Amino acid sequence: MKKKNGKKKVVGIVIAIVAVIGVVGIAGGILGSGTPEMAEGEETIQVQTYKMHDLTKSINVSGTVESQNVLTVATDLTCKVKELNVSLGDYVNEGDVLCVLDDSKIREAIETLESQVSDSEKLAAKQNEIAKRNLTQAQDNRDKAVANAKELADEARTEYNDAVNKYNALPDKNTEEALLLNQQIKSLETALKEAEKNIETVQSSANELVQSAQDTLDLNSISNGGNSEATKELSELYRQLEGVKIVAGQSGVITVLNTSQGSISNGMLMQIEDNKNLKIKVGIKEKDIIYVTDDMVANVTSDALPDEKYSGRVSKVINFSASAGTSNMATAGTGIADSGYSAEIIIEGDTNLLLGMSAKVEIILEDNGSALSLPYDSIIKEENGTYVYKASKSSENNYKIEKVSVTSGKDSGYYTEVTSDSLSEGDLVVNYPNQVSVGEEVRVNIHDAED
């Protein structure tokens, strides 16, 4: 019995010591800290800082850098390649001799036929060959002149859009900078209209030259009595002789080489892609395609060039599902979304992008500039008005909830412009109002999402 009583006393002493240690520990914690620490697991309310955000509405897509101008170099002659002056990946200038075909058999055929026809037939054959060549040249010149006029119009459009975007981003439209920029926009708009009108002028003038070349060809045929079969054959041989020297019709990179020295030519020999004027074909989701239109501004970036950003614009919207009418092979590797909707983005100005690079594109649906704003979820819309819950500091750790009347404005889809006499930049606003009530004292966790 005595041993049992002894055990009880020992247990009682241990419990007393533990209790004393606990009291001392709590007292030490209070004395050693200016404010009580938040207990583990204590709930906090998520708040957002009332500040400036970019309210631009946009969609983000991706694709591969391609050339706006892809030229297929081909021949209808069946001749051996005597000289090949380029390799795959070479850069060539317009007019460079790419390759020369063996013309020995053509010259033999011309010599034989010329010995069998009269001088007048030789002359008619040569006149027809020159007239056909001039017609082809006039058509090529027209295409290049119109393309150049369109390029100048694109440059004017870029300058105009850049100025408009810069003006829209200004918070105050009554400053001297804004007034000067507004005047510049008017001048750029005039220049853009003139550049667009110039496209029609150039095209009309070039078409007249093409028609003149066609008329000359037709008159030659009439004046030469409709041309004999020998004359037609000789004219064709003269054309073939002119065609043995294959020249570059545009500057660019050889991206396909389908021939080699000594091989027999026929059909496509190579492909030249203009590496200065670039585009990106991008896939667009079904829910977004209805918002995308021609001439929308776009920002272009690439992981390969992380410090560079380029301007672009939407040049073509393919607002039907390609997958509904074409095979998957037709869209493989182009960046077209599963739905098959897509658009082409013209990259404006000089870039360091290379053909085949992956690129990211932000298509600007609506440029709303920047404004003091809050996340959409933090705004309460009721029958009698629009409100937010402001968290104002009431003690060192606590914040008191206050219901504030606000006016909402433009939005980015996530952030909404908010104005109120009771809100100042830097104030804290509750992200999810249903978690609090007016007058409640809470602890907060500032959670500012990145734009």
How do residues 34-82 score in pLDDT, each as one tens digit? Answer: 334 444 446 799 999 999 999 999 999 999 999 999 999 999 999 999 9
Reported residue count of the chain is 451
> CATH homologous superfamily for 56-101+249-367?
Efflux pump adaptor protein, beta barrel domain (2.40.30.170)
All structural domains of the chain with their residue ranges: 45-55+369-446, 56-101+249-367, 103-243
Using pLDDT thresholds of 50, 70 and 90, give the confidence band for residue 322: low
Which residues are registered as beta bridge partners of 302? 305
φ and ψ at 27, to 5 degrees?
-65, -40
Q: Which two tokens stand for residue 208?
A: 């007249």
Look up the pTM and report it.
Answer: 0.65
| pLDDT tens figures, 287-300 | 999 999 998 999 99
Residue type at position 402: E
- The domains spanning 45-55+369-446 and 56-101+249-367 adopt the same CATH topology: no
Residue type at position 279: K
Residues 6+ apart with CB under 8 A from 310: 299, 300, 301, 347, 348, 349, 351, 353
Using pLDDT thresholds of 50, 70 and 90, give the confidence band for residue 354: very high
Domain 45-55+369-446 has CATH 2.40.420.20: yes
Higher pLDDT, 63 or 332: 63
